[in-house]
Every structure is written in structure tokens, then in C-alpha cells.
């Protein structure tokens, strides 16, 4: 079969049978799938042979880059030797034990106990169960109220989607539940208080304090936060915000959960972004970069005191939470090899490339469509507006998400294109200087083409 025929038949099969995550089913049927065939480094190749720079590392996960033979070898070797071992019945296998120890060694403070999941959503969901169990074990079962942050994303399970604060994950699903509360996001660019960092920190602290008081001081179980809000549009809090929220949770006696599914594994520089402000969460979730996306895996890392309270509370009883594929040996073998690559130079490269990326994106500020540039390390966003003074978002009827994504694709660039007209960047940490410069240059091209779009001209001030 020729390449084009093969692609056509795949598009048709996909249309008929494959349900895509977070997609308009009808919109996807109309647009059809774009099939990727192979990848190397930071470049992906589609089924027609078109090469694109992956400025989003798949779904902010392929932090090490594509095509590392040593990772393939680690997976193959583990599959040959022992493709599966359960963690139930006191059984185990070597890779997840070594990986748990390696993560405990590198995680902040006393985060020393690792429960492995299959990805980020079930890691978040697991924390909800562990947090509830923790308070039951302490004899405070009424602490069953959870607080998270507007614009936050904490996955797509039924319980996690209610902590998530993006309407698309709520509408039609009957969440959030009454026990899931939110406080405002820091969203500096659009914060009604302006962009004075201390004013924003003070306001968030006051809001969380007031929220806890309103719910009842002895009712709140935990506060969830992403060190940088990812799916909400790459919203970077002012320096000191995370630390202020952590300190307040300590003062109020509620658990602090850092959701590092995106920010983990070098995305902002250090292995965990919690280190950026020297905080130690009570529980930390991670996934994505843990295996660099080569195979599925996530983790909950819990502090000594959370673990101890649960252990003591359960006594000889089993803590009834488990997945068949928790601590999967092949995923763990991959994660160990990926960690070796990260620490063998990729983290370091990511720090260098991140500075170049931020400096490059900053040069786009002069463009008539660019309202804001923000980010940290290899996690960044460019927010488009039609009026810089009024910060007017691109009109929804222009369907900026698909239109701008398509335009970037035409320029050989894969980026995240958020619904409200925000470009998201999370390139593999292995990017060369030339690749970073290309990401910036191609973005400018997309901006110029968009500026020439007659529909855009009509709404531009
Ligand atoms: N938490 C955060 C902060 C995320 O960004 C994501 C995914 O993007 C998740 C949880 C869910 O992870 P997954 O898609 O692996 O289930």
C-alpha cells in the first residue's frame, strides 16, 4: 500500500473506531487524525514524511527527547527477564524498588514513600484516597473538604476532574462535588489586582484563609496546587506565592499537595519545581517526565508523617488501595534509564535551553498580537490579544485553538494552542540552540501569518 493510501485508510479507521481524549467527537470526525510515524530527538515525522519540531514534547512529557536506544534496551531487557510482577501479596521486583529509592533520594525533605500509578490522573485520585484515609486514621473523618485553584488541572478521573477547575472537564459530567472548593488563580497577566507580586500573594493567602474559615477549620483535608498551572494556560505564580501557600497550610493544619505532573523532571530546571521555592509538600504527584512518556507511569510521593499516620491507622489491616499495574517493572526500568539520561546531561541542557527559550520568546513581545510572555525553564506561554492595552483575547468564533495549531503545523512546529489564544511550549529538554531558535522563529512566522488573516485584521485595534 502506498503511503498516502495507508494514511487515508488509517484516518478512516480512526474516524470510525478511536475515541480521542479531550476532543470534540464531531470536530475530530470532520478534521480527521494526523498520524505520527516516528521521532528522533526533538523532531517528529508524520505519516506523509513531514518533519516537525515538537515544541510540546508530545503532551509535555517526552522530556528526554525521542529515540533513546538505551531506553528501548532497558524496556526490552526487562520484558525479556520479567515483564510483569505484582506488588500485591508482599511481592515485588527490582526496578520499582530501586526507582522508589531514587525518587525518595531526590524528592524534597521527608518525601520518602512512593506509590506508583499509571499516570497523573490516577496519581491525583490516589492522593484523594490517601488524604481521606490519613484523616480517618487521625480520628478526624469530618475533614473531607478539598480546596484547589481556579484554572488548575488535576487530571480527568471523576474525583480529580472535580479538583480540576476548567469548565470543559465539568460540563455534562456532574462535577465538581460539593466537597471540592476553589480559590482564585494568581494569573498575573489578568489579575484584577494588577501584577504587583506581593499584592497577589497577600490576596491569595487571605482568600485561602477565608475559604478555610468559611468551610470550617476542622473540615478541610487538603489544598492542591500546581507549582505552575499548566493546562490553565501556563500561569506562573509570582516568586514567593507557592511558599506562602505552603506556610499557610502548615499554619492551618491542612495537607499541602503539590501536583508536579507537568513541572516534575526538569521542566522548570530542578527535578521537582517544589525546589524552586524550597518547599516540602505533604504529598507530591508526578508522571509524564518520569518515564519521558516512553511507557505509562505516575507516582504519589508521600512524606514520612503521612505514611506513618496511614500505617499506624491501618495496623495489621490492608490499606485497600491498589492497581494491577502499580510499580510495573517495565515502566520502572524505563524510568530508571530515563533518570540516568537526565542526570547524565539532559537536565543540564534543559536549564541552558530554557534560558534561551525564555529569552527568545521575550523578543516576540514587540509583535502586535503578543500580550504576554511568561514561563520558567522549558515551560512557557505566549498569550495573544487583539488589543494590548485592553488585553482583549482572540475572539472565540475564530476558533483560535485549531486555527493556530494548524498554522504552526504548516510551519513545521508542534505547539499547544489553548482555546483562548495562548501558545504553550514545553520542548524536550534535549533541544539544541538551533532548535530553540527555530521554535521562536517559526512562532513569529505563525504570528505574522495570523496578523495577515483578514478575520484577525477586522478585530485588531
Ligand atoms: N495533573 C496535572 C498537573 C497535569 O498536567 C495532568 C496532565 O496533564 C494530570 C494531572 C493528569 O495526568 P495524566 O494525563 O497522565 O492522567
- Of 26, 33, 27, 25, which Cα lies nearest the Cα of 9? 33
Q: Which residues partner with 413 through β-bridges?
A: 53
Report the nearest-CA residue for atom 1 of ligand 1. 154
Q: What is the pLDDT of residues 11-60, one digit of tens each?
A: 999 999 999 999 999 999 999 999 999 999 999 999 999 999 999 999 99
Point out the ligand 1 atom lying closest to the alpha carbon of residue 121: 16
Cβ(446) – ligand 1 distance below 6 Å: no
pLDDT, tens only, 303-318:
999 999 999 999 999 9
User: Taking the model in full, what pTM does it have?
Assistant: 0.98
Which residue is associated with the grid cell 485508510?
A: 9
Question: What gap in Å lies between CA 385 and CA 445, rounded to an integer?
Answer: 16
22 CA from centroid of ligand 1 (Å): 12
- Specify burial of residue 388 (Cβ count, 10 A radius: 0-12, 13-18, 19+): middle
pLDDT in tens, 113-129: 999 999 999 999 999 99
- Distance (Å) from CA 8 to ligand 1 centroid: 31
Whole-number Å distance, alpha carbon 168 to ligand 1 midpoint, is 15
Q: 119 in ligand 1 pocket by Cβ < 6 Å?
A: yes
**Could you identify the atom of ligand 1 that is nearest to the CA of residue 122?**
16
Position in ligand 1 atom list of the atom nearest CA 226? 3
- What is the whole-number distance in angstroms between the Cα of residue 435 and the centre of ligand 1? 26
pLDDT at 49: 96
Residues contacting residue 370 through CB under 8 Å, at least 6 positions apart: 364, 382, 383, 384, 385, 388, 447
Per DSSP, helices labelled H in 119-215 are: 120-137, 158-163, 197-215
What domains sit in the chain, N to C, each tagged with a CATH number? 3-67+345-459 (3.90.1150.10), 70-341 (3.40.640.10)
Of 288, 295, 325, 381, best ligand 1 pocket probe by most atoms within 8 Å of the beta carbon = 288
Q: Which residues contact 162 (CB under 8 A, 6 or more apart)?
A: 170, 175, 176, 177, 180
**Ligand 1 centroid distance, CA of 163 (Å):** 12
Q: In the structure, what pLDDT confidence band is assigned to residue 398 with cuts at 50, 70 and 90?
A: confident
Amino acid at each position: 500500500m502506498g503511503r498516502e493510501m495507508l494514511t487515508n485508510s488509517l484516518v478512516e479507521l480512526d474516524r470510525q473506531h478511536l475515541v480521542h481524549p479531550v476532543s470534540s467527537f464531531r470536530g475530530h470526525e470532520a478534521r480527521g487524525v494526523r498520524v505520527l510515524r516516528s521521532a528522533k530527538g526533538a523532531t517528529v515525522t508524520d505519516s506523509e514524511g513531514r518533519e516537525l519540531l515538537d515544541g510540546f514534547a508530545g503532551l509535555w512529557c517526552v522530556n528526554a527527547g525521542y529515540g533513546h536506544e538505551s531506553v528501548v534496551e532497558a524496556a526490552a531487557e526487562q520484558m525479556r527477564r520479567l515483564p510483569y510482577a505484582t506488588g500485591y501479596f508482599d511481592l515485588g521486583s527490582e526496578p520499582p524498588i530501586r526507582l522508589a529509592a531514587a525518587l525518595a533520594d531526590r524528592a524534597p525533605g521527608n518525601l520518602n514513600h512512593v506509590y506508583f500509578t499509571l499516570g497523573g490522573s490516577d496519581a491525583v485520585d490516589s492522593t484523594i484516597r490517601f488524604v481521606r484515609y490519613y484523616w480517618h486514621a487521625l480520628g478526624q473523618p469530618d475533614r473531607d473538604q478539598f480546596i484547589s485553584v481556579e484554572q488548575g488541572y488535576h487530571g480527568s478521573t471523576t474525583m480529580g476532574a472535580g479538583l480540576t477547575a476548567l469548565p470543559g472537564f465539568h460540563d455534562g459530567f456532574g462535577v465538581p462535588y460539593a466537597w471540592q472548593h476553589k480559590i482564585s488563580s494568581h494569573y498575573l497577566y489578568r489579575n484584577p489586582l494588577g501584577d504587583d507580586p506581593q499584592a497577589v500573594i497577600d490576596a491569595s493567602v487571605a482568600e485561602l484563609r477565608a475559604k478555610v474559615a468559611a468551610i470550617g477549620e476542622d473540615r478541610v483535608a487538603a489544598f492542591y496546587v500546581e507549582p505552575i498551572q499548566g493546562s490553565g494556560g501556563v500561569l506562573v505564580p509570582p516568586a514567593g506565592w507557592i511558599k506562602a501557600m505552603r506556610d499557610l497550610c502548615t499554619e492551618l493544619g491542612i495537607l499541602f499537595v503539590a501536583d508536579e505532573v507537568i513541572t516534575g523532571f526538569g521542566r522548570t530546571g530542578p527535578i521537582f519545581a517544589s525546589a524552586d521555592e524550597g518547599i516540602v509538600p505533604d504529598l507530591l504527584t508526578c508522571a509524564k517526565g518520569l518515564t519521558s512518556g516512553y511507557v505509562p507511569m505516575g507516582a504519589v510521593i508521600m512524606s514520612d508523617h503521612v505514611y506513618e499516620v496511614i500505617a499506624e491507622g491501618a495496623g495489621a489491616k490492608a490499606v485497600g488501595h491498589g492497581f494491577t499495574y502499580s510499580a510495573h517493572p517495565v515502566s520502572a526500568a524505563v524510568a530508571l534509564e530515563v533518570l540516568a539520561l537526565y542526570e547524565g546531561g539532559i537536565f543540564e541542557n534543559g536549564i541552558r535551553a530554557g534560558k534561551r527559550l525564555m529569552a527568545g520568546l521575550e523578543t516576540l513581545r514587540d509583535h502586535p498580537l503578543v500580550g504576554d510572555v511568561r514561563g520558567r525553564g522549558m515551560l512557557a506561554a505566549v498569550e495573544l490579544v487583539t488589543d494590548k492595552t485592553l488585553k482583549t483575547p482572540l475572539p472565540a468564533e475564530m476558533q483560535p485553538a485549531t486555527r493556530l495549531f494548524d498554522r504552526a503545523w504548516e510551519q513545521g512546529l508542534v505547539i499547544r494552542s489553548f482555546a483562548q489564544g495562548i501558545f504553550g511550549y514545553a520542548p524536550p529538554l534535549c533541544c539544541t540552540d538551533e532548535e530553540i531558535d527555530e521554535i521562536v522563529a517559526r512562532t513569529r512566522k505563525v504570528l505574522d501569518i495570523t496578523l495577515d488573516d483578514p478575520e484577525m485584521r477586522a478585530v485588531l485595534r
